[in-house]
Chain A
Amino acid sequence: MEFKDNIPIYLQIKQYLYRQIITGKLKPGKKIPSVRELAVQLTVNVNTVQRALQQMNFEGILYTKRGEGNFVTEDTTLLEKTKRELINAELDKFVQSMNSFGVSDEQILKSLTEYLKEERK
């Protein structure tokens, strides 16, 4: 996992963990790796991981069992909401870059449908 240099790393760690949860690599109700394990795996500072996990705890996507570590929430509505947010963020990026190419919203829809048709063949 490579981090962008000019964006706070704790934000990028959060993004990384959201993805892991949405893609099912980290399952609802299951324990996530410890702070130190994550730090080593991602080669980042332990304090930074701590900060990311704290925020995710605050958001409710993770919860802490005392002495055991952090677990992924089983709250499906919250997971759904997170997934939607992630999708929206990706779409945002996509649409913005399309717009910057001068593609209008309608054209985006058309191109996307065509593209998907081609790919599905």
Chain B
Amino acid sequence: MGNPLEITDLVYKKNQKKIITNLDLTLKPGKIVALLGENGAGKTTLMRIISGVAKNYRGTVKVAGFTKEADRKGHLSFTDGLTGFANSTKISDIIKFYQILYQDFNLKQFEQLREFMNLKPDLRLSELSKGMKEKLVVALTFSRRVDLYLLDEPFSGIDAMARKKIIKSIILWKQEKSTILVSDHFVNEIAAVLDEVVIIKNKTVCMQKSTEAIRADNQSVEEFYESFYQREEDE
């Protein structure tokens, strides 16, 4: 089996506008990696391409050694906004959906995560606050056993307590060999749990570096990240 993720020479255009150009990215097993970049840098698009729900791209995308979209989807778990459900859908119905659609969905694990996050199963989607929904999405994503987890801005717009809960759940429930790619435009809170940072700028990956190597240069991860966007403003 190959690396959790291997992307070579990825190009993606939409409406005749280049969104990603010549992007290469390899992630090794067992890592927690941040995908950093400004809003609109293409983080979500990249995750959607990896998951095979964005189409018409060029280049190769391998997940756990598989290039076919169906296999890729089977070996990764992507935080989906649950937009395919009506607002009146109960959490228990969503669980049923996941159980049926994903064979690797582990109900016991979900129940543990759900309790850890203090989510009641009889609630409906419309009754969830933003933080609760974010927690539910993360719980669902981590209840699958896969090689690659794609977390698309799981901390956007939620309070510090919920954030801490989600981070702790990531540490607790991550399997040894699986790799997590978590996108954010903000790195401070998660810096301590990261192995690596990947920075997207100018439609491609401009830097991939280990966080401890950054700190060994007496730099904080945040300073390091900001320096990339600083440079552009200076130019």
The residues of A with any CB-CB pair to B shorter than 8 Å are 3, 5-10, 36, 39-40, 42-48, 51
Contacts and interface: CB of A to CB of B under 8 A. Distances in A.
Contacts of A43: 164, 167-168, 171, 192-193
A5 B32 CA distance: 17
Given A5-B223, A45-B193, 9 more contacts: A6-B220, A6-B223, A7-B215, A9-B211, A9-B212, A10-B212, A40-B171, A45-B192, A47-B31
22 contacts: A3-B192, A5-B188, A5-B191, A5-B215, A5-B220, A5-B221, A5-B222, A6-B218, A6-B223, A7-B218, A8-B216, A10-B212, A39-B171, A40-B172, A43-B167, A45-B32, A45-B171, A45-B192, A45-B193, A46-B174, A47-B31, A47-B195
B219 interface: yes
Count chain B CB atoms within 10 A of each CB in A6, A42, A51 and give the residue with the most.
A6
Interface of B: 30-32, 164, 167-168, 171-172, 174, 176, 188, 191-195, 211-212, 215-216, 218-223
Given A40-B168, A43-B167, A43-B168, A6 B192 contact: no
A41 to B, nearest CB: 9
Count chain A CB atoms within 10 A of each CB in B168, B171, B216 and give the residue with the most.
B171
A10 B213 CA distance: 11
Nearest to A45: B193
B51 to A, nearest CB: 25
Contacts, number: 54
Contacts of A48: 195, 212
Contacts of A44: 171, 192-193
Nearest to B193: A45
A36 B215 contact: no
B194 to A, nearest CB: 7
A39 B194 CA distance: 12
A43 B168 CA distance: 6
Contacts of B220: 5-6
Contacts of A10: 212
